[in-house]
C-alpha cells in the first residue's frame, strides 16, 4: 500500500484531522500508511487561509461520549497523537466491543484525554487565581491547553481577558473569543476541539483549593441547567471569610456577568450589608445552584426556581465551598438556600432570625432572599421587612465574634 499524505492547517486542526480519518476509513487506509504534516498558510492569520480536505467519507459515526474523549485527547501534548487517535477510531469502526471493553488503544486515549484535561486545569487554576488578583492577562507556555480551555476561561471570567502563548494569543472582549488577530470562527481556525472533564464526586471531596474548585466548575454537567445558561456562576470571596452567604441561583444579570448577586437583588443585598457595617469583600458569597434556571419568553429569560434535583445535583459544589472556606457563620438567603444547607424543607417565617448549629465550627442563620424585598407591594411592608433582614445580618455579625 502506498502512503497517504494528510495535511493539517495547524496542530489543533481537529476538523481537518477528522476529515482525513473518515477518508482513510472509507478507503481502508491503515493508520500506519498515513503521513501527517502541518501545512501552515503563508499568512498565519489570513482570513482566506483554507484547507484542501478529502471529500470521500466513511458513513461510520462515533458515539457522542467517544467523540468527546477523542476531541479532548486530540489536544494532549503527545507526539504521534494523530496516528494514535486514528488507530482508536479504526478500532471503534471495526470492533463494536471496544465501546465497552477498553483495549490498550482506548486506554492510551483515555490517558491522553486525562493529560490534556490536567494541563487545561493547570491553566484554568492559574487563570482563576489571576482573575481573583484583578489581573486579566496571563502568559501560558502551551497553546494546545489554551485552545482546549478557551470556553471554560470565558466561563471563569465574563469581562475582557487575554492569554498569550508561544504560538498565538487568545483574547476575549467579554463575549467573542478571538485567536491572534483573526476571528475564532474563520475558516483557518474552524473545528477546534474543547477539552472538558465533568468532575467526579471524589475529586470534589478531595480538593484542597478553592481556585481549583472554581476552575473545575465550568465542566459540570451534573444536571441539565448548564445547557441553556451562559456560564457557571461560582461563589466569590476570600477563602478565609468568616461569613458566608448562600443564595438560591444566579439571575439573568449574574448569568451574563459571571458573578453572584450583581443584579437588582444584589443591589439590595449590598445596601443592607453596608447599613449594618459588613464589608461584602470580606464575605464569601455563593448560591445553592450555580447555573441560571429560566423560562424563555420571547427575548426575555424569566427566572424559574431550581427544583430538588438541581439542588441535590449542585450540593457537592456547595459542600466543597463550605469545607474549604469553613465560615464561622453561614447565612441562608431564602428557602432554596435553606433547603440546600439544612437538607429539608424550610418555612422561612418559622426558622429565621435564630442560630442553627450546622457543625462544630459553623452557625447558620435563615433569612429571606433579598429579591423577596423587591417584590413587596407597598413601601411600609418593604421598610419593615428590610429592617428585619438587616436585623438578621446584625445577628450574623454578632455570632461571628462569639
Nearest to 367 by CA among 328, 343, 340, 396: 396
Please say which residue, 313 or 335, places its beta carbon nearer to ligand SF4.
Answer: 313
Using CA atoms, how far apart are residues 89 and 67, in angstroms rounded to an integer? 9
Cα dist. 85→14, 79, 108, 211, 319 in Å?
11, 11, 9, 32, 38
Task: Kindly tell me which of 286 and 367 has the beta carbon lying closer to ligand SF4.
Answer: 286
Q: Is the dihedral of CA 109, 110, 113, 115 positive or negative?
A: negative
CB of 263 to ligand SF4, least distance (A): 18
Grid coordinates given for 221: 454537567
Least distance to ligand SF4, CB of residue 222, Å: 4
Give yes or no for a contact between 335 and 346, defined as CB atoms under 8 angstroms apart: yes
Single residue of 29, 34, 85, 314 touching ligand SF4 by CB under 6 A: 314
User: Could you say whether residue 232 binds ligand SF4 (CB under 6 A)?
Assistant: yes
Sequence length of the chain is: 402
Does residue 286 interact with ligand SF4 by CB under 6 A?
no
Of 129, 133, 91, the C-alpha closest to 109 is: 91
Choose between 319 and 358: whose C-beta lies nearer to ligand SF4: 319
Q: Is 104 exposed, middle or buried (0-12, 13-18, 19+ CB in 10 A)?
A: exposed
Counting contacts by CB under 6 A, is residue 289 touching ligand SF4? yes
Total residues at the site for ligand SF4 (CB under 6 A)? 15
- Minimum distance, C-beta of residue 284 to ligand SF4, in the bound complex (Å): 17
C-alpha cell at 65: 461520549
Task: Confirm or reject binding of residue 25 to ligand SF4 (CB under 6 A).
Answer: no
CB of 62 to ligand SF4, least distance (A): 24
Please select the residue that binds ligand SF4; options are 71, 310, 367, 371, rule is CB under 6 A.
310
Residue 146 has a CB neighbour count (10 Å cut-off) of: 26
Question: From residue 315 to residue 344, what is the string marking binding to ligand SF4 with x (rule CB under 6 A)?
Answer: --x---------------------------
The correct pick among 117, 161, 226, 245 for binding ligand SF4 (CB under 6 A) is 226
Give the residue, chosen from 69, 157, 223, 272, that forms a contact with ligand SF4 under the rule CB under 6 A: 223
389 binding ligand SF4? (CB under 6 A):
no
| By CB under 6 A, residue 106 contacts ligand SF4 | no
Single out the residue of 81, 290, 322, 352 in contact with ligand SF4 (rule: CB under 6 A): 290
Q: Per DSSP, which regions of 28-136 are E strands?
A: 34-38
Which residue, among 152, 169, 171, 153, has the nearest Cα to 161 in the 3D structure?
Answer: 171
Report how far apart, in Å, the C-alpha atoms of 316 and of each of 133, 219, 222, 390 are.
26, 14, 10, 30
The torsion angles phi and psi of 43, rounded to 5 degrees, stand at: -105, 110
* CB 217, min distance to ligand SF4, A: 6
Chain residues binding ligand SF4 by CB under 6 A are 217, 220-223, 225-226, 232, 289-291, 310, 313-314, 317
Amino acid at each position: 500500500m502506498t502512503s497517504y499524505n494528510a495535511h493539517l492547517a495547524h496542530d489543533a486542526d481537529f476538523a481537518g484531522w477528522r476529515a482525513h480519518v473518515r477518508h482513510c476509513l472509507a478507503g481502508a487506509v491503515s493508520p500506519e500508511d498515513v503521513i501527517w504534516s502541518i501545512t501552515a498558510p503563508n499568512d498565519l492569520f489570513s482570513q482566506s487561509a483554507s484547507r484542501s480536505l478529502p471529500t470521500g467519507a466513511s458513513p461510520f459515526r462515533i458515539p457522542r461520549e467517544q467523540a468527546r474523549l477523542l476531541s479532548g485527547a486530540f489536544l494532549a501534548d503527545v507526539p504521534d497523537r494523530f496516528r494514535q487517535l486514528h488507530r482508536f477510531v479504526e478500532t471503534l469502526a471495526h470492533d463494536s466491543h471496544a465501546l465497552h471493553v477498553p483495549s490498550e488503544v482506548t486506554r492510551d486515549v483515555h490517558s491522553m484525554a486525562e493529560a490534556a484535561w490536567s494541563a487545561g486545569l493547570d491553566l484554568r487554576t492559574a487563570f482563576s487565581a489571576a482573575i481573583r488578583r484583578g489581573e486579566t492577562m496571563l502568559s501560558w507556555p502551551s497553546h494546545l491547553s489554551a485552545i482546549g480551555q478557551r470556553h471554560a476561561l470565558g466561563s471563569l471570567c465574563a469581562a475582557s481577558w487575554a492569554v498569550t502563548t508561544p504560538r498565538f494569543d487568545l483574547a476575549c472582549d467579554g463575549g467573542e473569543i478571538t485567536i491572534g488577530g483573526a476571528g475564532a470562527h474563520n475558516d483557518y481556525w474552524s473545528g477546534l476541539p474543547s477539552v472538558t472533564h465533568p468532575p467526579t464526586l471524589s475529586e470534589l471531596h478531595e480538593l484542597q483549593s478553592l481556585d481549583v474548585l472554581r476552575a473545575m466548575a465550568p465542566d459540570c454537567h451534573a444536571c441539565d441547567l448548564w445547557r441553556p445558561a451562559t456560564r457557571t456562576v461560582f461563589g466569590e470571596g476570600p477563602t478565609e471569610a468568616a461569613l458566608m452567604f448562600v443564595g438560591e441561583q444566579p439571575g439573568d444579570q449574574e448569568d451574563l456577568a459571571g458573578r453572584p448577586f450583581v443584579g437588582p437583588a444584589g443591589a439590595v443585598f449590598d445596601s443592607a450589608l453596608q447599613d449594618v457595617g459588613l464589608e461584602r469583600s470580606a464575605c464569601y458569597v455563593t448560591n445553592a445552584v450555580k447555573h441560571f434556571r429560566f423560562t424563555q419568553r420571547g427575548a426575555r429569560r424569566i427566572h424559574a426556581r431550581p427544583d430538588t434535583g438541581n439542588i441535590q445535583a449542585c450540593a457537592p459544589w456547595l459542600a466543597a465551598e463550605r469545607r474549604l472556606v469553613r465560615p464561622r457563620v453561614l447565612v441562608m438567603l431564602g428557602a432554596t438556600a435553606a433547603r440546600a444547607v439544612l437538607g429539608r424543607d424550610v418555612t422561612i417565617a418559622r426558622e429565621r432570625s435564630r442560630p442553627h448549629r450546622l457543625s462544630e465550627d459553623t452557625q447558620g442563620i435563615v433569612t429571606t432572599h433579598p429579591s423577596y424585598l423587591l417584590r413587596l407591594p407597598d413601601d411600609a411592608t418593604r421598610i419593615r421587612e428590610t429592617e428585619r433582614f438587616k436585623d438578621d445580618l446584625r445577628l450574623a455579625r454578632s455570632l461571628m465574634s462569639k
